[in-house]
Amino acid sequence: MSDKHGGGTRTIKVDYLARVEGEGAMYLKIRDNVLEDVKLKIFEPPRFFEGLLRGRDFREAPDITSRICGICPVAYQMSAVHAMENACGVRVEGALRELRRLFYCGEWISSHTLHVYMLHAPDFLGYPSAVEMAKDHPEAVKRGLALKKTGNDIMNLMGGREIHPVNARVGGFYRAPARSELSGLREKLLHARDLALETVKWTATLDFPEFEQNYTFVALRHGDEYPMNEGRIVSNMGLDIDMSDYDNHFEEQHVDYSNALHCVMKPGNKSYHVGPMARYALNFDRLLSDIQDVARSAGLGPVCTNPFKSIIVRAVEVLYAVTEALRVIDNYSPPDTSFITVEPKAGTGYAATEAPRGLLYHRYTIDDDGIIKDANIVPPTSQNQKMIEDDLRRFVPTCMDKSDDEIQYVSEQAIRNYDPCISCATHFLKLEIDRR
Amino acid sequence: MTEKPKLAVWKFASCDGCQLSLLDCEDELLAVTDHITIANFPEASRAVLNGPYDVSLVEGSITTPHDRDRIQEVRCQSKYLVTIGACATAGGIQALRNFTDVQEFMDIVYAKPEFISTLDTSTPISAHVNVDFELRGCPINKNQLLEVINAFLNQRKPNVSLNSVCIECKKRGTACIMVAQGTPCMGPVTQAGCGAICPAYDRGCYGCYGPMETPNTSSLAIWMRELGVTKVELQRMFRTYNAEDPDFRREGDRHGGESL
């Protein structure tokens, strides 16, 4: 919505930011072409997961927390199972560990492809939605849908269904697939690899605003693989900590205009960037050389600092996830048992895994009977919220010569660079520009 | 040319998963949009067409004063209102607040609870407005969703089974895990629709589709107790994603104990 007032004073107000997951609003205050204030407001109703988890059995955490987000349920399940295993002093290795990676690849493919084709690409090509975009770009949208479906096929097989899968458990899986079931995915994944390669090339042809930023990137880093479930929490500014040290370095703050908590890095309460660009920058050397070559030919260096180009980075990660899924399938030999028995032990467990949108931290304290006494969950969008505001604070001033409608359009695009999941962060987006 | 029917999708307190089911119809989505206009679906499009709408799909439960008012507006603009999923149909997992003091939850999650506007309860859409059809599940089944949209656009009753999950296990050829393995299972009292996934993955059904028509929950509870399920565990089983549904609520209230 745009109202023009006389005398050079304008107020631009948008009530609902679309193509994000959840309900939020954006407020921009502009006086005499100077951006004075930026607020990402989240009015997604609070659902109090950390409260309702208290008194539940530790084995229920993966299923209950998956209900925080229908777009990335696997991420919640993975962070929950790893945190509970950490609390109980258990490590899940071998084929079960590989199957968890395969399961996560499914979600990365599906969630990233949803964002690339259905939520983000319409911004670059000037359409309100992928359905409208499909009228002029049918091949692209069909490619996206086919690729997304392959991700869902993995989640269906590994988890029984793509949204809130039922198969993950503390200690492993309820049922491990037979070799023949996994090899059934092989043909689809080989085709998906071609589609993913085309996706990288296609995203590289989009027009990007010049907007290089000096980010503090935070992601997991693992000894020899591109990170998903394990590793240390590192940054490009020298941070290198164990997951159990997270609370000492990061803090959630409650601001009056949002139902989501803002997470900042201590000391100094600084914003930081999690998600595909952070993972990529901190783990480029963990990608296979042919995927590095594909990224280079798409115009990416080993670090990408233009958030609008996150769409290319997501496409590269889809290619990685398809390739990794094929690796797991080709090397698979079924585990002896689908899970290892985990006996509850009083204590606190920590885990952070790489959700499609970035680092997802879970901490649980349980008692000797396995009853949850305390839970803390920090989703990626809480961590990126302040970063999104900072991006707008720097980006909007570069657009002051544009009309209100254009500022609104590109601001929405800048928010979508982060694939914000507001259901997660409160566990919606309305754009309001107050310009005089 | 007659105008295509208009579909709207609305979100209340929820995880977005049920509306995502529509975007997960990869093979059908473009065909569906040949026959209907997606007039209001913020998760998928920034273009919004004004109402009234032929069919409104409502996801999520009512948990804030603002949403309690907003659902009235949605009803006024909708010829048919269909709730999708356990949150909209039964209050969802967030209805666990109905069994406790919400202030306590708020203090656990938020440093400054005074910034938060919330109701003491999470309630289904039917507690506030007339609902034309309730599609169950946490999440809903996308094939059932397509059937429901199709049915309402063609002015017929949706073909959605009211049987229990047990019937789906039989159809799927899954041996009863409760009988054969002694695994506690909510299947006998839970409405079908998921395809009996859990037992096919070697675990008991956990009731995410909510109660079937006239469920015999007290009989199931006796069987569960014989399998060694404690009263506290039994209460937790009925108090998950459909805890506020009257049948599950009644059974859950009969169990538990001071430790909850």
Residues in A closer than 8 angstroms to B17, CB to CB, are: 67, 69-71, 73, 163-164
Sheet of A2-4: strand order equals A2-4, A10-13, A431-435, A24-31, A34-42
**3-state class (DSSP) for residue B112:** coil
- Asked if the Cβ–Cβ distance from B111 to A253 is below 8 Å, we say yes
Return the residue of B nearest to A157 by Cα.
B201
Q: What is the rounded distance in angstroms from the CA atom of residue B16 to the CA atom of residue B55?
A: 18
User: Is residue A2 pLDDT above 60, yes or no?
Assistant: no
**How far is the CA of A395 from the CAs of A28, A181, A383, A398, A414, in angstroms?**
12, 48, 19, 5, 8
B residues 57..116 contacting A (CB < 8 A): 60, 63-64, 66-67, 92-94, 96-97, 100, 102, 104-106, 108-112, 115-116
- Asked if the Cβ–Cβ distance from B43 to A18 is below 8 Å, we say yes
Name the minimum distance, in Å, from the CA of A236 to any CA of chain B: 30
| Tokens at B172, concatenated | 């799927």
Return the residue of A nearest to B24 by Cα.
A149
Phi (first) and psi of residue A355, to 5 degrees: -65, 160
CB burial of residue A352 (10 Å; 0-12, 13-18, 19+):
buried
Q: What pLDDT does A15 receive?
A: 55
Which regions in chain B score pLDDT beneath 50?
1, 258-260
Q: Which is it for strands A2-4 and A347-355: parallel, antiparallel or unpaired?
A: unpaired
- Decide: A87 and A366 in contact? Cβ < 8 Å: yes
Q: A420 falls in which pLDDT band (50, 70, 90)?
A: confident
Which of A369-373, A410-414, B130-134 comes out lowest in average pLDDT? A410-414
Q: Which residues make beta-bridge pairs with B56?
A: B8, B81
Q: What is the rounded distance in angstroms from the CA atom of residue A321 to the CA atom of residue A152?
A: 13
Q: What pLDDT does A412 receive?
A: 87
Q: What pLDDT does A19 receive?
A: 65
Q: What is the DSSP annotation of B164-203?
A: BHHHHHHHHTPPPHHHHH-----GGGBBS-S-SHHHHTTS
H or E segment to which residue A180 belongs: helix A179-183
At residue B143, what is the residue type? Answer: N
User: CA angle at residue A187 from A159 to B174, to 5 degrees?
Assistant: 35
- Decide: A206 and A121 in contact? Cβ < 8 Å: yes
Residues in B closer than 8 angstroms to A423, CB to CB, are: 14-16
Return the residue of A nearest to B27 by Cα.
A145
- Decide: B150 and B142 in contact? Cβ < 8 Å: no
Q: What is the rounded distance in angstroms from the CA atom of residue A279 to the CA atom of residue B1?
A: 51
CA A326 to chain centre: 22
Residues in A closer than 8 angstroms to B104, CB to CB, are: 51
A26-65 residue pLDDT tens: 888 888 888 888 888 777 777 889 889 999 999 999 999 9
ipTM: 0.95
Return the residue of B nearest to A70 by Cα.
B17
Return the residue of A nearest to B113 by Cα.
A254
A191-207 residue pLDDT tens: 999 999 999 999 999 99
**3-state class (DSSP) for residue B1:** coil
Q: What pLDDT does A146 receive?
A: 97
Name the minimum distance, in Å, from the CA of B96 to any CA of chain A: 6
Q: What pLDDT does B120 receive?
A: 87
Q: A297 falls in which pLDDT band (50, 70, 90)?
A: very high
Q: What pLDDT does A11 receive?
A: 52
Q: A93 falls in which pLDDT band (50, 70, 90)?
A: very high
Using the Cβ of A28 and the Cβ atoms of chain B, whether some distance falls under 8 Å is answered with no
- Decide: B38 and B45 in contact? Cβ < 8 Å: yes
| Tokens at A419, concatenated | 């694939």
- Asked if the Cβ–Cβ distance from A256 to B46 is below 8 Å, we say no
Q: What pLDDT does A20 receive?
A: 65
Q: What is the rounded distance in angstroms from the CA atom of residue A363 to the CA atom of residue A261?
A: 16
Q: What pLDDT does A48 receive?
A: 86
Return the residue of B nearest to A430 by Cα.
B42
Q: What is the DSSP annotation of B136-157?
A: --SS--HHHHHHHHHHHHTTS-
Q: What pLDDT does A303 receive?
A: 98
Q: What pLDDT does B8 receive?
A: 97
Q: What pLDDT does A4 receive?
A: 39
B residues 145..184 contacting A (CB < 8 A): none
Q: What pLDDT does A1 receive?
A: 35
- Asked if the Cβ–Cβ distance from A166 to B201 is below 8 Å, we say yes
| Tokens at B137, concatenated | 């599940």
Nearest CB to A18; choose among B16, B45, B104: B45
Residues in A closer than 8 angstroms to B139, CB to CB, are: 70, 161, 163-164
- Asked if the Cβ–Cβ distance from B97 to A51 is below 8 Å, we say yes
3-state DSSP helix/strand/coil percent for chain A, to nearest 5?
Answer: 45, 20, 35
Name the minimum distance, in Å, from the CA of B249 to any CA of chain A: 16
At residue B48, what is the residue type? Answer: V
At residue A132, what is the residue type? Answer: E
Return the residue of B nearest to A47 by Cα.
B94
Q: What is the rounded distance in angstroms from the CA atom of residue B136 to the CA atom of residue A388?
A: 36
Mean pLDDT on A84-108: 98
Q: What is the DSSP annotation of A171-209?
A: TEESSPPPHHHHHTTHHHHHHHHHHHHHHHHHHHTS---
**How far is the CA of A37 from the CAs of A30, A308, A390, A411, B4, in angstroms?**
7, 22, 10, 14, 43
Nearest CB to B15; choose among A17, A70, A128: A70
Using the Cβ of B138 and the Cβ atoms of chain A, whether some distance falls under 8 Å is answered with yes
Q: What is the rounded distance in angstroms from the CA atom of residue B159 to the CA atom of residue B128?
A: 25
CA B132 to chain centre: 15
Q: What is the rounded distance in angstroms from the CA atom of residue A245 to the CA atom of residue A250?
A: 9
A252-264 residue pLDDT tens: 887 777 666 788 9
